[in-house]
C-alpha cells in the first residue's frame, strides 16, 4: 500500500473521493431530511459506494493487463446488453422520462450508460489492434453493427449527454492516431447536421438550447436551474460562505447534490475553492495524458487517452452547464456528485490507468505528447 503514496495520480483520486464525500454530505443534508427523515441518507449510501469503489480501484490496478488487451472489447458488448436491459419491465427504472437505470437489491440502482462511456475506449483500442484479437475475424458490416447498436440504444433511453461524450472521444482518438484532415472535415460535415436534427427536433432538448441562449426569457421554468446556479456562484464571492452554509441548496437550486453540485461547492468554498478543484481536475487529466504518451503499446495509448478524454469532457460539460456556458444537460460531476454508478465506474477507469502507470519505468513530460502521437500516426495511417 505504501508504494501507492508515490503515485500523484493515485493520491489525487483519493483526494477527490474524500472531497466528494464531504460535498455529498453538505449538498444533500437538508434535502435528505425533508425527503427521508435522515440527513445522512445520501451520505451513508455514498460512503458505502466509496468503499466499494476503492476496492474496485485497487483490484483493477492489480488485474493482469493481458486479459484487458485480449477481452477489453467485451466490455462494450456487456454495456450494450445492460442498456438493453433498462427497457425490460421490472428491471429497468424510468426517472424523469428517461429509462437509464437498472434496479438492484436494497433500493440501489445502476446506470449502464456510465459504463458504456468508458467501454468505448476499450473498444477503440481493441479495434486499433484488431489483428491481435477476435475482432480481426469479423467483417466490417458486423463491426459497424457492433459499434452502432449500443449507441442507438443510448439515444433511445434517451441519454444524449453520454452519446455526445462517446462521439467526441471517438473523434479525438481518430485524430490522435493519424486520421487525415479531409476525413475529419467530412466527418464533421456529416455529424453536425445529425446532431442538429437530434437536438432541435426534440422539444425538451430544443427548450434547453433556448433557455441557454436566454435563461431570463423563462426564469421560473426553463431558465430556473441556470439562474439559480449563477446566483449561487455570485453569493460565494472570493472565499465562500463555508462548508454547509450555502443557501442555494435550500430548495432554490434543483439537483443540488447531483448535476448542480458544483454550484453549491462554488457558493460554500468561493472562487478560491472553485479554482482549487479545477486545478485538481486539470492535474488528473494531465497525468492521464502523460501516461498515454509513455505507454509502450498502441492499445495502452488508445485506452488511457480515451479514458482521460472521457473524464475531461465530463468535467468540462458539467462545469460549463452550471456556469451557464453550455445548455443544461443531465451529466453529473465526476467524484463530487452523488451517484454510486458514477463513482464505481470512475474508480474502474483510473484503476485501468494506474495499472498502465505501474508498468512504466519512468514518467515522460507532457511536452512529448504531440511528438509521440505524431510518430505513431506516421507508422499507422487510418
For 17-40, what is the mean pLDDT?
A: 93
- DSSP 8-state assignment for residue 218: S
Confidence of residue 208 (pLDDT cuts 50, 70, 90): confident
- Indicate whether 382 pLDDT > 70: no
The whole-number pLDDT of residue 277 equals: 96
- Indicate whether 366 pLDDT > 50: no
CA distance readout (Å), 368 to 10, 129, 174, 354, 359: 22, 23, 19, 19, 18
Phi/psi for 89 (5° steps) reads -60, 135
- Indicate whether 369 pLDDT > 60: no
More confident residue, 189 or 78: 78
- Contact partners, residue 143, CB within 8 Å, separation at least 6: 127, 135
- Indicate whether 99 pLDDT > 70: yes
Q: Which of 117-121, 244-248, 370-374 has the lowest mean pLDDT?
A: 370-374
Confidence of residue 262 (pLDDT cuts 50, 70, 90): very high
Confidence of residue 362 (pLDDT cuts 50, 70, 90): very low
- Indicate whether 132 pLDDT > 50: yes
Confidence of residue 270 (pLDDT cuts 50, 70, 90): very high
Answer whether the bond into residue 246 is a cis peptide, omega within 30°.
no
Q: If you average pLDDT over every residue of the chain, what do you get?
A: 86
Joined together, the cell numbers standing for residue 87 give: 427497457
CA dist 267 and 230 (Å) reads 10
- Indicate whether 367 pLDDT > 50: no
Confidence of residue 374 (pLDDT cuts 50, 70, 90): low
Instruction: List the helix and strand counts (H, then E) for the chain.
Output: 14, 3
The whole-number pLDDT of residue 96 equals: 65
Confidence of residue 328 (pLDDT cuts 50, 70, 90): confident
Confidence of residue 375 (pLDDT cuts 50, 70, 90): low
Query: Is the sign of the CA dihedral 159, 165, 171, 174 positive or negative?
Result: negative
CA dist 272 and 224 (Å) reads 26
Q: What percent of the chain clears pLDDT 70, i.e. is strictly above it?
A: 90
Question: If residue 377 lies in a helix (H) or strand (E), which one and from where to where?
Answer: helix 369-379
- Contact partners, residue 204, CB within 8 Å, separation at least 6: 97
3-state secondary structure 132-189: HCHHHHCCHHHHHHHHHHHHHHHHHCCCHHHHHHHHHHHHHHHHHCCCCHHHHHHHHH
Residues 11-33: b if buried by 16+ CB within 10 A, e if exposed:
ebbeebbebbbebbbbbbbbbbe
Q: Which of 357, 304, 277, 275 is nearest to 8 (CA)?
A: 357
Determine whether 305 is exposed, middle or buried from the number of CB atoms within 10 Å of its CB (0-12, 13-18, 19+). Answer: buried
Amino acid at each position: 500500500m505504501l508504494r501507492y503514496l508515490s503515485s500523484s495520480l493515485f493520491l489525487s483520486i483519493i483526494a477527490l473521493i474524500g472531497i466528494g464525500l464531504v460535498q455529498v454530505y453538505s449538498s444533500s443534508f437538508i434535502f435528505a431530511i425533508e425527503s427521508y427523515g435522515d440527513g445522512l441518507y445520501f451520505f451513508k449510501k455514498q460512503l458505502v459506494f466509496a468503499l466499494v469503489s476503492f476496492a474496485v480501484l485497487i483490484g483493477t490496478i492489480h488485474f493482469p493487463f493481458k486479459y484487458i488487451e485480449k477481452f477489453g472489447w467485451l466490455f462494450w458488448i456487456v454495456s450494450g446488453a445492460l442498456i438493453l436491459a433498462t427497457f425490460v419491465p421490472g428491471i429497468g427504472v424510468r426517472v424523469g422520462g428517461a429509462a437509464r437505470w437498472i434496479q438492484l437489491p436494497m433500493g440501489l440502482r445502476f446506470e449502464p450508460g456510465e459504463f458504456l462511456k468508458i467501454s468505448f475506449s476499450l473498444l477503440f483500442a481493441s479495434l486499433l489492434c484488431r489483428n491481435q484479437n477476435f475482432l480481426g475475424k469479423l467483417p466490417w458490416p458486423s463491426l459497424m453493427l457492433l459499434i452502432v447498436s449500443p449507441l442507438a440504444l443510448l439515444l433511445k433511453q434517451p441519454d444524449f449527454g453520454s452519446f455526445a461524450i462517446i462521439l467526441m472521444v471517438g473523434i479525438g482518438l481518430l485524430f490522435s492516431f493519424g486520421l487525415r484532415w479531409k476525413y475529419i472535415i467530412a466527418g464533421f460535415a456529416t455529424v453536425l447536421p445529425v446532431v442538429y436534427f437530434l437536438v432541435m427536433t426534440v422539444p425538451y432538448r430544443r427548450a434547453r438550447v433556448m433557455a441557454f441562449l436566454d435563461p431570463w426569457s423563462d426564469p421560473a421554468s426553463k431558465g430556473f436551474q441556470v439562474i439559480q446556479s449563477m446566483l449561487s456562484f455570485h453569493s460565494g464571492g472570493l472565499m465562500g460562505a463555508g462548508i454547509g452554509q450555502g443557501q442555494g441548496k435550500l430548495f432554490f437550486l434543483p439537483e443540488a447534490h447531483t448535476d448542480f453540485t458544483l454550484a453549491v461547492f462554488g457558493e460554500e468554498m468561493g472562487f478560491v475553492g472553485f479554482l482549487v478543484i479545477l486545478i485538481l481536475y486539470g492535474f488528473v487529466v494531465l497525468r492521464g495524458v502523460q501516461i498515454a504518451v509513455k505507454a509502450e503499446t498502441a492499445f495502452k495509448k488508445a485506452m488511457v487517452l480515451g479514458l482521460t478524454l472521457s473524464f475531461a469532457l465530463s468535467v468540462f460539460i458539467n462545469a460549463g452547464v452550471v456556469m451557464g456556458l453550455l445548455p443544461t444537460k443531465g451529466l453529473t460531476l465526476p467524484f463530487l456528485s452523488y451517484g454510486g454508478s458514477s463513482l464505481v465506474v470512475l474508480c474502474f477507469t483510473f484503476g485501468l490507468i494506474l495499472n498502465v502507470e505501474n508498468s512504466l519505468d519512468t514518467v515522460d513530460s507532457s511536452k512529448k505528447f504531440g511528438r509521440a502521437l505524431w510518430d505513431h500516426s506516421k507508422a499507422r495511417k487510418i
